[in-house]
Structure 1
């Protein structure tokens, strides 16, 4: 009590008391100010962090969507929306890993006949429309677990997994041929298409992706050679035929360089005038291995 009276009395003690009181009030104000500033900094930092997290999440989602679209573009045909050759190979490779004698995989390669005629007669727009229409027709026929892809300009591929009988790809091929035989409507008139189909079966014809596709291609080539809208299964003799063809082409190049191919001249006779009016030049090739090879064999495109 005496000390309190002493500090309140005018004099040095009272002056020191007032200075101390002011310092204490100033320190308290600084502490309160620091606390308020820290609080607002925490709030601002929290708001910034939430906004930044939201922006990063949006950017990550947009990047994931863009990457997904880019992957789709590398695996899809832009015109028909079907899988392209890359995705076709991936799907086929996955199915071949499960191929068994009782769980076979069929590969069907489809080549359109008359496609170039549509382009020449009706234009590129009609060509694209016919392609899309054909793809839609085949997609409607195909079973759910089958894969349809556009693997070339006028070529399509189908993977049929889990078949137990050759009747399944045979019936599908027949239905595709029948569907393609119906006219295609274009802006400049009706157009007609045919389709040749080559079929290879795994594991009977192989379980290697590229080997199986190559054999389906050889069956397709034979089907196209048979005429419009034919279907052929791969046969082992097709490999022999192709190998012979490759060997003939290889030896033909050597024969041309060595000037072995001889011209034979056949007279052209006018029955009206009863005289020779010209000559037809025919190529003749005598090969050491194959003997005499007809021109329609070594000159076939």
Structure 2
């Protein structure tokens, strides 16, 4: 009896659905704080969201599509008189493009982001693992090797531009060690990072091939003993300092008319030191031609 009285009292005290809806602010009356004015007169270069993951499709040189997961960073420029940006719109743009996010739609997504957030400039980074099926050099055994790829998009005044960054793991063998040692030479795994702005279409595999061709030796996911012998001796016959690696790669990038600008970096994770060796070359062909 007591519990029945309590339930009856609670029901009487609770507002009716009609009353509850009257107390809830409508969409039209809710304040839009982000769109309010700001009096500090300081513009923000980039504001947005970081590290949001979404599925993407990447077409490889063989004509197949790789289904992978990319991590996105999305930013826009915020004028000095706006208090904040609409963070939810970044997520909405990704979800609207989700079934078709690819290289082809990347620039469209850039333009849409700038338009929907009413910004004069926008920036998107899309980072994902890219896989290549590689054949061992002697036995031909197949295995996958992954590469870290990032598409970097910029849009300013409605004009988009796209850069591609690829991190290529390779083997480097020290020329000095080979020269001064009675036998053997120290070698290490290295990361060569190439960032290019292109004038025309470029396969990811083309950029990776270019880098691997200038290393002491490329890497493979799976090697048999005959393959291991080959890559060991191949690296020994092709010693490279970090300086050699970036210069040789830059030379090939200079010759490619599809490359408008580039940054090439090489980092050797030294096997006989507790530090890395590093070198970098940067060139903007378009800026040189304009100047």
TM-score range, shorter chain: under 0.3
Structure with a larger share of its residues in strand: 2
- With normalisation by structure 2, the TM-score equals 0.21
Specify the structure having the higher radius of gyration (Cα).
1
Structure with a larger share of its residues in helix: 1
